[in-house]
Amino acid sequence: MRGASPAARGDRCGGRYPSGGHPDERAARPGTPQWLGAASASAGLFAFTGRIGDAAPHAHAAVQVLLLTTGSVTLIDPAGDAHEARAAIIPAGARHELRASPDAGGLAAYLDPAGCAGRAAHARLRQEGHDPASARAWRDAARALAGIGTLADLVAALETPLAGPDTLPEPLRHALALAPQLIDGPLLLKELAGHVGLSASRLGHLFAEHLHLPYPTWRRWARLLHALESVRAGVSLTTAAHAAGFTDSAHLTRTCRAMFGITPSTALAATRLPPGRPGPFPG
């Protein structure tokens, strides 16, 4: 029922979806809250500020931090557990769904898992001691961040000893720097590993250990961000898809929905990021 509380919808805090109501099987709610606001970006950081909307089940390759100033969201994890929250840290690669209240608004930040802020956010999740795949852990890890409303304040709050040394192995840093130059091709792990003097298995291990993502997931994310930046700059969806290494625009759309829970057109319409600004995750 549109506008009902989470409890009335059967997905109350700590609850589960009713039988037959798994997120992958339900149609969008009537009058689904839509994302609408402004975006800003810099190296390793992307932030959306404004009205927070629903997002179908998805898993992105960034560490997501949600900080609401109005309303709330219900976080649904892969097990179907649902927790209502006003702040959350969702780790890279974690499949989840968002159900927003009609008045939900605030900051949604996407942090490069290789960057200082992303590593610090992930450290907060580990410190909680909960299963990092659980919605409860995502909510609890962000308690100390509640009340923050800007990306600058969030980054400042995350600059703590929890993050550990802000260093990555040099071969991984080199691979991340090379990837944008090879994005329109196959971008095979073996090819990238050859450029940095490692075996494919060793480089794949570094991606998993330090970015908490398997290499294929990180590659899809890098392609998606490259394509969205091209479309935002005025390139057609098909041209942007091919330039980012997707087979066609349908492939790009499927990837966007899998990683953001919305289509490319919805994502771009929801923001007002001025053309020509740097993409969120260069390399």
**Each residue's pLDDT tens digit, 121-178:** 988 888 867 788 899 999 999 999 988 988 889 988 887 554 444 578 999 999 999 9
Q: Domain ends where: 101, 128, 163?
A: 163
Give residue 25's pLDDT: 35
Same domain, 177 and 150: no
For 137, list phi and psi in degrees, rounded to 5. -65, -40
Percent of the residues in the chain that have a pLDDT greater than 70, as a whole number: 80
Same domain, 19 and 55: yes
Q: Where are the alpha helices (DSSP H) in the chain?
A: 6-9, 116-128, 135-141, 151-158, 170-178, 189-196, 200-211, 215-232, 237-243, 249-260, 264-270
Same domain, 24 and 123: yes
The reported pTM is 0.75
Average pLDDT of the segment spanning 3-28: 36
Half-sphere exposure (Cβ direction) of 199: Cα atoms closer than 13 Å: 3
Average pLDDT of the segment spanning 242-268: 89
> Higher confidence at residue 24 or residue 184?
184
Contact criterion met (CB below 8 Å) for 112 and 176 = no
Same domain, 36 and 81: yes
Question: Which of 34-48, 104-118, 125-139, 174-188 bottoms out in mean pLDDT, i.e. has the lowest?
Answer: 34-48
CA 38 to CA 242: how far, in whole Å?
A: 27
Please report whether residue 150 resides in a domain: yes
Domain residues for the domain of 222 are 170-270
Please report whether residue 158 resides in a domain: yes
Residue 79 sits in a domain whose CATH number is 2.60.120.10
Which residues fall within 8 angstroms of residue 249, CB to CB, at 6 or more apart? 237, 238, 241
Same domain, 26 and 145: yes
Instruction: For residue 96, give both structure tokens.
Output: 């989840």
Please report whether residue 278 resides in a domain: no
Same domain, 21 and 153: yes
Give me the residue label for tokens 């993050």: 163
Confidence of residue 272 (pLDDT cuts 50, 70, 90): low
Give residue 234's pLDDT: 84
Q: Domain ends where: 142, 163, 184?
A: 163
pLDDT digits (tens, 9 = 90+) for 49-84: 999 999 999 998 899 999 999 999 999 999 999 999
CB atoms within 10 A of CB 161: 8
Domain count, the chain: 2
